Amino acid sequence: MASNTLIEVRVSPAAHLTALMSEASVVQGLTLSEVAFTTQVSVRVAPGSAGYDAVAAATGVGLPEKVGQVAGEASSASVLWLGPDEFLVTAPEDSSLVSTLETALGGNPGQVVDLSANRSVLELSGAKAPLVLRKSCPADLHPRVFGVNQAITTSLANVPVLLWRTGEESWRIMPRASFTEHTVHWLIDAMTEFASDPVD
């Protein structure tokens, strides 16, 4: 019981915005919500090293090899490519993930750091989600370039985010936790126009 005390009182970065986000979810099928308390672990290992092979085996889904790639699916453990030697392992809440990866890396050069509280996870879904994102994301979001289950580091509303297309019409936006409020308000503002019918 005592070990769970912090878990009972913790608050996710967008918890106070839940009502606002559900109000803003539009008839047309645009919804914004938070995926709270995911586990996120930063891994830095150089490709070709022993540590890379060990960590790749420990994640269960390998490590992505180039920009945009994601190993695994958002519903379970998955790994995002952040740089040639930098990865973000994410999973629904999993307290054993950090120690598993740390054990796998062992004494090899590299690092495994628990960054679960570093980024908040927002989920925007609906057919018009790309139109909302395109209002301030400079990256190419065309389906020809940005396929399902791809993720990149870019910016949205002038803050750095990880943008992850988790499904045909669903996108995960991961800003730093302190930018959550700004990002949510910006997204709600950007979604508003889709509440009314288009004017011919």
Partner 1 sequence: MMLIDCPHCGPRNENEFSYGGEAHVAYPENPAELTDKEWSRYLFYRGNKKGIFAERWVHAGGCRKWFNALRDTVSYEFLAVYGAGEAQPQIDTLQGGTR
Closer Cβ to partner 1, 29 or 84, answer by number: 84
Establish if 115 lies at the interface with partner 1 (CB under 8 A): no
Establish if 48 lies at the interface with partner 1 (CB under 8 A): no
**What is the rounded CA–CA span in Å between residue 120 and residue 181?**
10
**What is the rounded CA–CA span in Å between residue 175 and residue 180?**
6
Q: Are 128 and 187 in contact (CB under 8 A)?
A: no
Residue with tokens 């099928």: 29
* 196 Cβ neighbours under 8 A, 6+ residues apart: none
Establish if 143 lies at the interface with partner 1 (CB under 8 A): no
Among the listed ranges 7-15, 22-30, 147-155, 178-186, the one in contact with partner 1 (CB under 8 A) is: 147-155
Closer Cβ to partner 1, 89 or 156, answer by number: 156
Size of the site for partner 1 (CB under 8 A): 14
* CB-count exposure of residue 62 (10 Å: 0-12, 13-18, 19+): middle
Establish if 132 lies at the interface with partner 1 (CB under 8 A): no
For partner 1, the binding residue among 6, 138, 142, 144 (CB under 8 A) is 138
Establish if 191 lies at the interface with partner 1 (CB under 8 A): no
Query: 59: which 2 tokens?
Result: 């994640």
Closer Cβ to partner 1, 106 or 160, answer by number: 160
Establish if 198 lies at the interface with partner 1 (CB under 8 A): no
Closer Cβ to partner 1, 55 or 152, answer by number: 152
For partner 1, the binding residue among 49, 155, 167, 188 (CB under 8 A) is 155
DSSP per-residue codes, 63-105: ---STEEEEE-TTS-EEEEEETTEEEEEESS-TTHHHHHHHHH
Tell me how far CA of residue 20 lies from CA of 31, 57, 86, 93, 196, in angstroms. 11, 41, 35, 25, 18
Residue with tokens 């065309």: 142
Binding mask 55-94 for partner 1 (x = CB under 8 A): -----------xx--------------xxx-x--------
Give contact residues for partner 1 (rule: CB under 8 A).
66-67, 82-84, 86, 138-140, 152-155, 160
